[in-house]
A and B are shown apart, each in its own frame.
Chain A
């Protein structure tokens, strides 16, 4: 029993060490070893993307709530304008190309 245990244990240890060392074995001399990290620009873009998705989501929910009758016509009229503007702003902040923004707002609304 002990020999089997030793062999299996040894194999396990060797396999683990190899697996842990794998990234270094695969690339012994890489061009760059830098961990990808969002820079300031990317972070800002991510924020804007999330804001855009939030605005789009809110618009969709408004539509849904209106269709199911949770929000009255009056409330809907009151709320949809500012929301659409918010979506447009968010899209514009991400991609300053006017035409595609209008299309997107129309498509989602």
Chain B
């Protein structure tokens, strides 16, 4: 069986190479059949990758330990879901997952792109072929999941910290996002290579970008939740290089999503958009390079594997090549319109872009700094949370404000008079809530208060948009408010879907601010019967309880929580001692208060014979972060939803020209 897997990968590599070379040749010399043949090669590559994936999956499920990979990442008693997630739990398997998604997306892009722009597709194919060749080559020659050995009796098993449901969904979502960014990149490069100056590549990849961006966002949120409940140090984001590796392409993609709208509406910023899509894709590659090469000391770091130099080389090749391509086509990309006013929606989009890219680059600098400083000074100098938080505040707060200003401003030009009128209500709401919060004591954190005020303003402005739109709809077509609202959203999916997404980001911001700027932390060593108080909650330690399970010993500290005179319940933070792996895992206890949205987070930091070192955190509003994820998804779905009218219009636009030529 491993031979089949290996053969399938070699076949995939061959097909990808063919797609690259034959595709490029066909596009250059304008041969129709050869171009078609190269497209078919990409589709066949997907088939080959699937076969390889099935072989690995079958081996994992059958615990065939003659596969080195299976022996390293599973064991006989490992529950089946984790046998499946072990597919992407290791270096080689995760590469195969990447290849599978990449070939799958490429096949889909080719199949759907056949409808229009044959010359564009002809150049997209070799670009996709190039990326596929690289990953297939890695799997064939450098890091194969099909290495074999004499099968041992049992495998090494999966790290207990990975045996939870998050392992099933967090990596796949992230990969869907990372790999998804390849498609807009390929179409952008294809458009440049085909010397096309129109918007076909943007129109074709708009939903791809949205999909990848959404998947990447959800993936990160899942990772944060995993860290929060399972790793349990009381936080959800540590500015670890590997976390940043997913954040950076997401920020670049966010900027791209916005600036692409300007190009569609005004025909401007063509060069900027090219640079952004290249940045997003290269950051996605860089992100996976970071996680795999162990080049930056990080808690996620992998083995110092031979993959590192290959990846770095490929990233340099892609960056240099795509920038050179943009430079060579600069004259084609010159716009003929210019921005009319500094106070227009285009301008706010531009400011938003600048802030997002600035934030992205400062994070990149923070990640790369240790590597660079080691190369220059011989020692790694790392920056940590204070650095990132500083820049998050500097760039994030204005971004938050802009989210509220953007919707209130019209395209092209907004007279200050109509601007003033639009701003009145949302600004009033913002100031009112800000003042109220100040009175309630939120002034303890200046940045927090500012963030809250801005958030109120943004939510006010978004709400105002919905109200205004629904009111106008009712004036036009009558009907109930609910009807008007749903009609409004259905007819203007991009705009109102975008507003919903913005609202979710604001909720995220509120959750982040509340749980960091306004959190309370207390630590104490408690004997049974002793208590400690944190933010009005009295915690009484009642003693330990141990339970023996098949593969671990569960030690729990019983803590009774009281508030005022009310008994709120018994919570059991503690630790699990795993026998086979000789490892201890932290098991935190969280009390969710659905009324206030906050959490009481309990960690049994130190376990002794009689006493416990208890660490308690009160994190206000933290659950808004997770709730915002659902709203984010809902808004993204609204924006992604296909619109028949739009499809017709675009199809007409790119095909009505045929009769023109023939006539």
Contact = CB atoms under 8 A, between A and B. Distances in A.
Do A and B make up one complex? yes
A24 B11 contact: no
Interface in B32-50: 32-37, 40-41, 43-44, 47-48
A81 interface: no
A1 interface: yes
Given A49-B656, A49-B657, A72-B421, A33 B415 contact: no
Interface stretch (B85-93, B209-217, B357-365, B405-413): B405-413
B471 A68 contact: yes
The interface residues of chain A, by DSSP majority, are classed as: helix
A102 B164 CA distance: 65
B53 interface: no
B33 A30 contact: yes
B77 interface: no
> Which secondary structure characterizes the binding site on chain B?
helix
A50 interface: yes
B31 interface: yes
A97 interface: no
Contacts of A4: 4
Contacts of A47: 197-198
B573 to A, nearest CB: 49
Nearest to A39: B661
A4 B476 CA distance: 68
5 contacts: A5-B4, A9-B4, A22-B37, A46-B653, A71-B414
Q: Which of B31, B118, B412, B421 has the most CB of A within 10 A?
A: B412
Chain B CB within 10 Å, residue with most, of A22, A54, A69: A69
B197 A43 contact: yes
B418 A23 contact: no
A99 interface: no
Interface residues of A, number: 53
B27 interface: yes
A45 B653 CA distance: 10
A34 interface: yes
A35 B120 CA distance: 10
Nearest to B51: A12
Interface string B628-663: 000000000000000000000100011011001100
Centre residue among A20, A34, A67 by max chain B CB count within 10 A: A20
A51 B267 CA distance: 8
A33 B422 CA distance: 58
B37 A21 contact: yes
B485 to A, nearest CB: 13
B472 interface: yes
A45 B656 CA distance: 10
Interface of A: 1-2, 4-6, 8-9, 12-13, 15-16, 19-24, 27, 30, 32-39, 41-43, 45-47, 49-51, 53-54, 57-58, 61-62, 64-65, 67-72, 74-75, 79
A62 B31 CA distance: 45
B121 to A, nearest CB: 10
A38 B411 CA distance: 32
A79 B48 contact: no
A42 B122 contact: no
B656 A20 contact: no
B8 interface: yes
Contacts of A64: 472, 492
B605 interface: no
A54 B418 contact: no
Contact of B33 (A27, A39, A69, A75): A27
A37 B119 contact: yes
A9 B475 CA distance: 66
Interface in B259-276: 264-267
Given A2-B3, A42-B657, A20 B415 contact: no
A50 B653 contact: yes
B30 interface: yes
Nearest to A72: B418
Contacts of A53: 649, 653
